[in-house]
Amino acid sequence: MIRIANGQGFWGDSLEAPVEQVRRGPLDYLTLDYLAEVTMSILQKQRARDPKLGYARDFVDMIARVLPDLKERRIRVIANAGGVNPKACCEAVLEVARRQGITVRAAVVAGDDIMERLDDFLSRGVELKNMETGEPLAAIRAQVRSANVYFGARPVAQALEQGAEIVITGRVTDTALALAPMIHEFGWKADDWDRLAAGTIAGHTVECGAQCTGGNCQVDWETIPNLADIGYPIIEAEPEGDFVITKHAGTGGRVTVESVKEQLLYEMGDPREYITPDCIADFTTIHLAQAGPDRVRFSGIKGRLATPFYKVSISYSAGFKAIGSLVYAWPDAYKKARAAEKILRQRLDRLGLRFESMRAEFLGANACHGIPAAEPTPEIEPHLPEVVLRFGVRGENRAAVERFTREIPPLALNGPPVVSGLGSGRPQVEEIVAYWPALIAKTEVQPEVTLWPSDN
Amino acid sequence: MAKRQLIELAHARSGDKGDTSNIGLIARKLEYYPILVREVTAERVKEHFAGVCLGKVERFEVPNLGALNFLLHEALDGGGTLALKADPQGKTYSTALLRMEIEVD
């Protein structure tokens, strides 16, 4: 049995979680997920400014804190912290090791960045069509900011095979981070579909950190103990594919069949076809059982042959947006916010401003659910203590979006009474970086695995 | 037959993929699962999210987890960074679904 922990569900997750995972109990592997879909474009921008940047710097700071513990406890680390510059991330980690006088073997998994090869692909008829709309990439080629293939667990397992203690990747699937050590330790073959599916489902369960250990958990949420000290998840993986999800003893939160089910269904499409580069996992074959306090056992998982494609994550510039907020209090809070919305629309119209999209929402009335069943009733509406008008515009024309932002602050003095919460004044204009999912034949791209031993 | 609100019988979590929202609806007890299958149809969910989900609703059964998974297409104002919504990832659609009233024997 090996213990594989997740210490980071997204870039911006708890800085303490990975440290606690390392120090509060036994562990063999620590995995960390830093890359969301739009993160790559932000990192691409950073690398354009400075060729030494373009990765998750939080990861390097974390390694600096725990490197002696990792060595002492023989814990190996797998992180997609490399972003668009995994080599620079690796160099930063090795520099930390040098400064601490510690020898460490790090490896980089790269080859996922296909930004420079896009025109070559397009000229050869590899269309990189949008998986949702069917549109060819050529339609937005000029706006592309980053393009990365999602690799699977194989190249990561290969890095472990070569003896890496820290594996830094660019774009790999979130599930690959946890599956790779199982492939490495148990010698699972490329066509061991059931076991690969089991490892993939284990990876999916822990990829969002504490979302499977009682965090963001709806069922009986008030009774979940000690969320302040919530334990992040640990997979106890077995060679035949069965596994237990648990957390370190003494930590807060709760691991139950219910808490785990919520995470299993998170970001789910067809439950019989969870597609990764490693296999197709069938979520309708999972058997769950409570195997003691804070222990859920998974068994019976079946998988199928992987597809011949990698998914590609492309980010592109898609215009500009700005969102303004105005706070109205009792009496007539909702009516006043509605009146302000109408006035704002009239003013934008008089200015001749055109947008691709305009949207008004009323926080405190029905902004989140937005469904008819959640509208404030005529009995409740006059008593609402406050309502926030949240008004956003989106369009290609930056000047028009900029002009819109100038129409928000005046409403405090020349619109319905009384506006609060204007804060720093006018809203900021943001460039929109949107996401373009596509597929590419596996034969078109090869992962590159490089071992970088520190030299002291 | 009595009317009950879904929150009494189920819990849920929602996520996003582009402009599509997924809602996993989980029976609090396995004996409630057949009720969910019978009552919470794709058509009813589409009706419940009128004005929010502009595309079709797909439903998948996950009997081993006592759960249903719904895909609400064109439900996130373009999705991700394009959306002007306060909840651009539809994180609260899970609880929006739990408002639904269904018939229980």
How far is residue A69's CA from residue A75's CA, in Å, rounded to a whole number?
A: 8
Q: How many CB pairs under 8 A join A and B?
A: 134
Q: Say what the alpha-carbon torsion angle A33, A37, A41, A47 is, to the nearest 10 degrees.
A: 20
Give the DSSP per-residue string, B21-73: EEEEEEESSGGGHHHHHHHS-HHHHHHHTTTT--S-EEEEEEGGGTEEEEEET
pLDDT at B65: 98
How far is residue A439's CA from residue A445's CA, in Å, rounded to a whole number?
A: 12
**What are A307-327's pLDDT values in tens digits?**
999 999 999 999 999 999 999
Q: b/e map of A399-413 (b: 16 or more CB within 10 Å)?
A: ebbebbbebbbebbe
Alpha carbon A250 to chain centroid distance? Answer: 28
Residues 18-57 of chain B with CB under 8 A from chain A are: 18-20, 22, 24, 26, 28, 48-52
Cβ neighbours of B65 in A, within 8 Å: 261, 264-265, 283, 286, 288
What are the distances in angstroms from CA A292 to CA A221, A233, A234, B36?
A: 20, 15, 15, 29
- Three-class SS of residue A271? coil
B-interface mutation test, from A145, A323, A371, most B Cβ less than 10 A away: A371
pLDDT at B29: 97
- CATH, residue B96: 3.30.70
How far is residue A288's CA from residue A256's CA, in Å, rounded to a whole number?
A: 10
Residues 119-148 of chain A with CB under 8 A from chain B are: 132
The number of folded domains in chain B is 1
pLDDT at A37: 74
B3 close contact with A: CB closer than 8 A: no
For residue A250, the distance in angstroms to the closest alpha carbon of chain B comes to: 27
B2 close contact with A: CB closer than 8 A: no
| Series of mean pLDDT values for 10-residue runs along chain A (456 residues) | 97 96 98 87 88 95 98 98 96 96 97 96 96 94 95 98 97 97 98 98 98 96 98 98 98 98 97 98 98 98 98 95 96 97 98 97 95 91 96 98 96 93 82 94 98 72
Of A265, A367, A434, the CB nearest to B67: A265
- Three-class SS of residue A118? helix
Nearest to A324 by CA among A311, A337, A314, A309: A337
For residue A363, the distance in angstroms to the closest alpha carbon of chain B comes to: 8
**B60·A272 Cβ contact <8 A:** yes
A-interface mutation test, from B3, B6, B13, most A Cβ less than 10 A away: B13
For residue A159, the distance in angstroms to the closest alpha carbon of chain B comes to: 30
How far is residue A410's CA from residue A443's CA, in Å, rounded to a whole number?
A: 58
Q: Nearest residue on chain B to A217, judged by CA atoms? A: B13
**What are A65-99's pLDDT values in tens digits?**
999 999 999 999 999 999 999 999 999 999 999 99
Q: What's the length of chain A? A: 456
**B80·A38 Cβ contact <8 A:** yes
Cβ neighbours of A435 in B, within 8 Å: 18, 79-81
For residue A37, the distance in angstroms to the closest alpha carbon of chain B comes to: 9
Beta bridge partners of B4: B102
pTM exceeds 0.90 for this model: yes
For residue A43, the distance in angstroms to the closest alpha carbon of chain B comes to: 16
**What are A374-424's pLDDT values in tens digits?**
999 999 999 999 999 999 999 999 999 999 999 999 999 999 999 987 766
What are the distances in angstroms from CA A294 to CA A4, A71, A225, A227?
A: 16, 28, 11, 14
A368 close contact with B: CB closer than 8 A: yes
pLDDT at B85: 95
ipTM over the 0.95 cut-off:
yes
Q: Nearest residue on chain B to A285, judged by CA atoms? A: B64
pLDDT at A61: 97
How far is residue A160's CA from residue A129's CA, in Å, rounded to a whole number?
A: 34
Cβ neighbours of A392 in B, within 8 Å: 84
Is the Cβ–Cβ distance between A405 and A393 less than 8 Å?
A: no
> Where are chain A's structural domains?
2-112+150-307, 314-434
pLDDT at A38: 72
Q: Which domain holds residue B30?
A: 2-104
Domain A314-434 has what CATH class? alpha beta
Which residue has 């002492």 as its token pair? A72
**A284·B77 Cβ contact <8 A:** no
Is the Cβ–Cβ distance between A251 and A36 less than 8 Å?
A: no
Q: Nearest residue on chain B to A284, judged by CA atoms? A: B62
For residue A270, the distance in angstroms to the closest alpha carbon of chain B comes to: 7
Q: Nearest residue on chain A to B12, judged by CA atoms? A: A262
Residues 64-83 of chain B with CB under 8 A from chain A are: 64-67, 69, 71, 77-82
pLDDT at A44: 86
Give the DSSP per-residue string, A225-260: --GGGBPPPEEEE-TTS-EEEE--TT-BS---HHHH
pLDDT at A423: 62
